[in-house]
Homo-oligomer: A and B are copies of this chain.
Amino acid sequence: MAMGEFELIARHFTRPSLPDSAVVLGVGDDGALLQPTPGHQLVISTDMLVEGRHFFAGAEPETLGHKALAVNLSDLAAMGARPLGFTLALALPVADDAWLAAFARGLFALADAHGCPLVGGDTTRGPLNLCITVFGEVRPGRALRRDAAHAGDELWLSGCTGEARLALALRRGEAWATGDVAAVADRMDRPTPRLALGQALAATPGVHAALDVSDGLLGDLGHILRASHLGAEIDLSSIPVAPALRGLAPEHQRDCLLAGGDDYELLFTAEAAAHDAVLAAGRMAGVAVTRIGRLTLEQGLHVRDAQGQAIHATVRGFDHFAD
């Protein structure tokens, strides 16, 4: 990029430092300097978003700024971590002032809401590509790992799933989808990372494993089951159904709930003795949490309807990368 473009970009991403942050030195040196809380462990996650694959070409930039950071913060939430900061690497075909202003607005509104400052970055010319890396911290031994589920654990879900998948279908004009796209668009475009809930759960004794649901409830549950060498039973009738999904045909409603994707809710396990503490953590974080099943020593994943009958469930996530 020409120097003028670098200055343009720098203007949009240079901001006063947040008070009470861990940042000792931010953007502008060879590296950022952070001072984590002594003794804590560091949590790190990275995601790359490519135009035409993770978002539509011509996507609204403020929304894109929000979502690019949200999906990364959701990973910190799933580990039970407190955010410390993030880096942003950005390839842009052109440096457009209005686009950058809107992108930065969406990005920083979310960053500020969670006290997560931008600490470094890189900008270059190229096909539109956003790579965000987030850093958080957690007390040693308290991270919510995928391999930490116990047989007999209750299986919990925050919020509800399927609305983002419905929004995508409505936008694409898929025939089965009915309803008002405006009612569910934010669930696809502006996901809410469950950071307060993740931290509350990490501080709750008896909460064991967690991840964030990005590729569909069943597909992501499979990651916990494989890592923990366990099976699970899900009670379909216990999964909360968002109002927008209530008018769908049963099989489409079920697909949205179980395999929708892009939900960014937390799916987690806790011993039965922690049941009330989990409900309290949800209340403290202001997010509904619902027990939807349990972990079993016997491997395999079984979904049962209200009558206890087994449902043949395709464990297939909504795949961003499918050809």
Name A's B-contacting residues (CB within 8 A). Answer: 1-2, 6, 24-25, 28-36, 38-39, 41-54, 75-76, 78-79, 81, 85, 87-91, 119-127, 129, 131, 133-136, 138, 140, 143, 145-147, 210-212, 227, 320-323
Contacts and interface: CB of A to CB of B under 8 A. Distances in A.
Given A75-B31, A321-B6, A48 B146 contact: no
Copy tally for this chain in the complex stands at: 2
A36 B126 CA distance: 35
Given A30-B78, A129-B129, A44 B119 contact: yes
A136 B91 contact: no
Given A30-B75, A87-B133, A145-B29, A46 B120 contact: yes
Q: Is the interface of A mostly helix, strand, loop or mixed?
A: strand
Nearest to A135: B44
B146 A47 contact: no
Contacts of A91: 48, 50, 129
Contacts of A85: 44
Contact of A48 (B28, B129, B321): B129
A42 B35 contact: yes
Nearest to A45: B31
A42 B323 contact: no
Contacts of A136: 31
14 contacts: A29-B227, A31-B136, A31-B143, A33-B41, A33-B42, A33-B138, A35-B42, A42-B42, A49-B124, A50-B124, A50-B127, A87-B133, A124-B321, A126-B127
